[in-house]
Structure 1
Amino acid sequence: MAIDVSKASLRELGQLGGDAIIVGEIDDKLVNLPTYRELYQRWEKQQWSTQDIDFSADRQQWSQIEEAARPVHISGFVVFFQGEVSVTHTLIPYCAAAPKEEQRIFLTTQLVDEARHSIFFDRFFREALGFEGEDIEALLVQIRPLLRESERQILMEGLVEIGQRIQAQPEKLEHLVEGVTLYHIITEGTLALAGQRSMLNRNKRMGWYPGFQQGFNAIARDESRHVLFGVRFLRDMVQEDARYAGVIRDTIQKWMPQIHDILYLSDFQRALLSSFGEDPDELLRFGMSSLRKKLKVIGVPSDFLPAVA
């Protein structure tokens, strides 16, 4: 019997691969976008607790990985941990600047989600991977050297900078459109979703990290709401004023070098995926295909995007 992703428990979510949520709950839902109120209602029905996840099996599996190979294996975890913390502390200005009450209400639910995701990764790094530190920042200081420059530029610089501009001029909706494009469409809707799909499918195939698989699928389901909000908001803004299409296009073009670099992966990461029997180019193909789908629904031609073989 197929699992209903919209109602699935943590245990049921742990049985899924990435396509069930990344494709089934996001890309396939773009044809009939939910309203802001409907997205809020989904949030009420899809609550979960980081405290309900058992990482003991994950810890046992991690203990079997050779010390020298561990930095390679955790590189994907690192960027998601930093990403969740970055999006948590940069979202608040969006909540205040959103022009409609139902948009603001939904964004407050997203802020709660992002905080929960940060706590999930904090627990995973401590209880499964054996990291120690007095707080989340202490863990991040240890793992940030593993971030690539393009990841730093988006997560630790770009999101912060646009968040500051939104906060300084909340009435200037061009800033909010740019911010939602970078946050919801590029960071969450392209980079994170492509990486999540790859990692979740691999873990399911390999039988890796069952506790992580439960929580990461729950995170992906949360982010399906976030991404659909971003698509809905930008479509509404473009329909209200066509000039916002240019803001969206310019923002994506500005960050395209980093998008391509992150999705193309480093030579080391590409070799690792090949050793798992995966096509390292699939991440880029899926990410760019998903981005094109979102732009089509928003109402922005995607002919400016680079071709991907």
Structure 2
Amino acid sequence: MTRWTTLLMDDAQLSELPNVPAADVLRHADLVAARAPKPIELYQRWERQQWSAEDLSFGRDQVMLNDERVPAGIRAMLSNAIATFIIGEYTGLDMLGPILTGSPDEEYSVFLGTQIADETRHTRAVFRMGAEVLGMDENPRTMLAQAWGLATPAHTELALLEGRIVREVHERPMDYGQWLQAVSLFHLITEGVLALVGQRVLVHALRDINLFDGIKTAFVAMCRDESRHIGFGLHALRTGVKEGYAEQIYGVLEEAVPLALRLDNEFEGIAVDFRAMSIDILRRHLGAIGADPAFISHLLDRHDTRSKLHTA
């Protein structure tokens, strides 16, 4: 028996990432979060885990995406994932400015500066995938409009909620409770559930396929970055709960969680396991920040089909 560690995922160079076992990728964020790293530790991880969106190669991926020998389900899943992340990564870049401006702590600000760099790199990576793999317009504004044309109603509603919360942070940058609501929405929901689950599903789907190495490399690298972002969000929210701001955090989660879980039903071909994964991740995240168990049950049990089956 050998001990599992995060070292392989932590220390792999960009060219090695497609060969990291899928199980290591899937568990990485959970193990990083379990260590409860402080912002300075997350900054130090960022220093060691640099990569370049310009070093990704998508030529072969574009050919394979149009090859009818590749299962149609895989090709559709990749196309939908790329379009979704075009919206998500650019939205993340847009949201982080006010979150950084309203940061209540110097070490928080240092880490958030690294996250803005990450979101910039992710945005460039998915813009390249959109143009070079999907054949979308190279102009970012036009590409975003094309990607929004594929968005689901729940995705649109969640984006409107994000816009409202970020505007409020921008208008009241020194309001700590408002800042925690933005972190709840962005780090816990958008990053900690939607992005993480989407990346995990894609990596899992490609685990046995010796194709799409460019896409696989990009998403594994993004998963590793996401581990740091989620770790920061859990630290900030755990601190906020201890300082008496639980109700503000709970308020935005009441709005956001049903929208996030609706996304599972609005993408054709999504398996029940996708929804179960989202609920399991949410339950762990909420426990990690010290949320009241009664609130966690109130928020999640009505969405968890397994709980309903168990109590039926």
Instruction: Determine if the TM-score, normalized by the shorter chain, exceeds 0.5.
Output: yes
Does the CA-based 8 Å contact 1:37-1:102 persist in structure 2?
Answer: yes
Question: How far does residue 166 in structure 1 lie from its aligned partner after superposition?
Answer: 0.5
Task: Give me the whole-angstrom Cα distance separating, in 1, the residues matched to 2:146 and 2:33.
Answer: 39
1:97 alignment partner, one of 99, 102, 119: 102
Task: Give me the whole-angstrom Cα distance separating, in 2, the residues matched to 1:65 and 1:110.
Answer: 38
1:141 maps to a residue whose letter is: A
2:199 maps to a residue whose letter is: Q
Greater relative contact order (Cα 8 A, min sep 6): structure 1 or 2? 1
Q: What is the aligned partner in structure 1 of residue 91 from structure 2?
A: 86
1:137 alignment partner, one of 141, 146, 149: 141
Does the CA-based 8 Å contact 2:169-2:178 persist in structure 1?
Answer: yes
Pair 1:169 & 2:163 matched: no
2:291 maps to a residue whose letter is: V
Q: TM-score w.r.t. structure 1 length?
A: 0.89
Question: How far does residue 306 in structure 1 lie from its aligned partner after superposition?
Answer: 2.8
Does the CA-based 8 Å contact 2:180-2:248 persist in structure 1?
Answer: yes
Task: Give me the whole-angstrom Cα distance separating, in 1, the residues matched to 2:281 and 2:164.
Answer: 26
Task: Give me the whole-angstrom Cα distance separating, in 2, the residues matched to 1:233 and 1:298.
Answer: 8
Question: How far does residue 95 in structure 1 lie from its aligned partner after superposition?
Answer: 0.6
Note the residue ranges of structure 1 that are not aligned, 5 or more in a row.
Answer: 271-279
- Trace 1:34-113 onto structure 2 (pairs within 5 A): 34-65=37-68, 73-113=78-118
Task: Give me the whole-angstrom Cα distance separating, in 2, the residues matched to 1:102 and 1:297.
Answer: 20
Task: Give me the whole-angstrom Cα distance separating, in 2, the residues matched to 1:18 and 1:160.
Answer: 34
Per-residue CA deviations over 1:1-57 (Å, capped at 9, x if unaligned) read 99611111112211235542342x221233321111000011111000011111121
Cα 1:72–1:299 shift into 2, 3 Å: closer
Does the CA-based 8 Å contact 2:32-2:227 persist in structure 1?
Answer: no
Q: What is the aligned partner in structure 1 of residue 298 from structure 2?
A: 304
Q: TM-score w.r.t. structure 2 length?
A: 0.88
Question: How far does residue 269 in structure 1 lie from its aligned partner after superposition?
Answer: 2.7
Task: Give me the whole-angstrom Cα distance separating, in 1, the residues matched to 2:198 and 2:57.
Answer: 23
Does the CA-based 8 Å contact 2:82-2:129 persist in structure 1?
Answer: no
- Trace 1:23-42 onto structure 2 (pairs within 5 A): 23=27, 25-42=28-45
Does the CA-based 8 Å contact 1:264-1:281 persist in structure 2?
Answer: no
What percent of counterpart residues are identical? 29
Pair 1:287 & 2:278 matched: yes
Cα root mean square deviation, aligned: 1.9
Task: Give me the whole-angstrom Cα distance separating, in 2, the residues matched to 1:102 and 1:163.
Answer: 21
